[in-house]
Amino acid sequence: MNQDVFIVGTGQTPFGEHWDKSLKDLMGEAVTSAIDNSDLTALDIDFIIVSNMLGERTNDQAHLGAMASALLPHRPPALRTEAACASGSVAVHTAISLLESGRAENVLVIGVEKMTDVSSEEISLSLMGAADAEKDIPTGLTFPGIFGLITNRYMHEYGLTREKLNKVSAKHHANAAKNPNAQFRNAIPEEKISQSPSIADPLCLLDCSPISDGASAVILSSTNESPIKIKASQVSTDTLSIAERPSITSFPATRDAMDRALDEAEITRDDIAHLETHDCFSIAAVINLEDLGFAAPGRGIRLYESDSKPSVNASGGLKACGHPVGATGIKQIVDLIKQLKSSNEKYALAHNFGGAGATCCIHILENVS
């Protein structure tokens, strides 16, 4: 980091089905709560970045930068970022670059997605834009399908059982029961996970993050201090199609971003107290812990078998909080700040990826209070 960057305000809407709210309504709600949460006024914001993946497909709405800017009285400059499910963290990464360059001093980062306005068939095709449109889509593959392929292979290589995999979603649901903004606040017994309808064998409905509406926002500042500082922000990429990779049971982009983030923050894995990882499907949560270096290959499930440091997806993760694609990466940061403040620990890490790990963005937060 070439510049101290503080997170001075956070806000979000509850995630879920908001049939009565538009993209603009959701953004407005998140922005208002973020500004209320900070010591700043709306007029202090000098740049806006909006993260969104599917506006054109779900609401025929592009040009979200200008739409967001119109929410503030002085219409600051604004732009939009898109990196599939990693759009949110990439927006934060972009905001940090603006602060580091001196182009802006207080940047408002908004993530928004409105997925329930179209049919689930349409959404599943739209989300395939995160994979390789010419290689993967013509086979009739879906994202649950891609992760079904990954799960089957992972089970084959490492002997993970279906019963053990149930622990992932069960834990996320249990954690979300305490999160007022989560889409699903009900604990689910382990055995019910694999009894839910099959989606892409061996993945069942309760292994998959849901289709959600929601928005989240953070305000980053280089001039106003706060107890939460960003220590590292790293982006790494990989091929869009999993068929072009040597192995499908690990995501090299996560490994690479993690190495660089730890270097940038000058800390070790052991310093991290809270972790929010990108559990778009239960198997991803397991692989993430291995790629982030908290478990050896094939052993990621062990962190779901006991409560150890670091805490993993205490918010409920994507599975139980909901996954409004563009809002997720920012919401992870909002949740980690709450966790750092309540535990008074020093470091937390947000891991957000797009597609099947084709873009991975990692942020490390430091509690300086």
* Interface ranges with other proteins (CB under 8 A): 119-122, 124-125, 128, 133-142, 144-145, 148-153, 156, 197-203, 241-244, 246-248
Give the pair of three-digit tokens for residue 51. Answer: 């993260």
The number of beta carbons lying within 10 Å of the beta carbon of residue 37 is 17
State which residue, 66 or 243, has the beta carbon closest to other proteins: 243
323 part of the active site: yes
Of the listed 18, 85, 204, 361, which one is catalytic? 85
To the nearest whole angstrom, how small is the minimum distance from the Cβ of residue 200 to other proteins? 5
To the nearest whole angstrom, how small is the minimum distance from the Cβ of residue 156 to other proteins? 5
Residues in the chain: 369
State which residue, 141 or 285, has the beta carbon closest to other proteins: 141
Cβ pair 275, 351 in contact under 8 A: yes
The number of beta carbons lying within 10 Å of the beta carbon of residue 103 is 12
H/E element, 343? helix 325-343
CA-derived radius of gyration, the chain: 19
To the nearest whole angstrom, how small is the minimum distance from the Cβ of residue 259 to other proteins? 11
85 part of the active site: yes
To the nearest whole angstrom, how small is the minimum distance from the Cβ of residue 119 to other proteins? 8
To the nearest whole angstrom, how small is the minimum distance from the Cβ of residue 217 to other proteins? 31
State which residue, 163 or 201, has the beta carbon closest to other proteins: 201
Amino acid sitting at position 24: K
Of the listed 18, 173, 274, 323, which one is catalytic? 323
Cβ neighbours of residue 125 under 8 Å, at least 6 residues apart?
A: 137, 142
State which residue, 73 or 246, has the beta carbon closest to other proteins: 246
Residue 7, beta-bridge partner list = 220
Looking only at the bridges linking them, the beta strands covering 272-276 and 347-354 are parallel
State which residue, 136 or 335, has the beta carbon closest to other proteins: 136
Dihedral (Cα; 53, 143, 156, 353), 10-degree rounding: 0
Catalytic residue numbers, as ranges: 85, 323
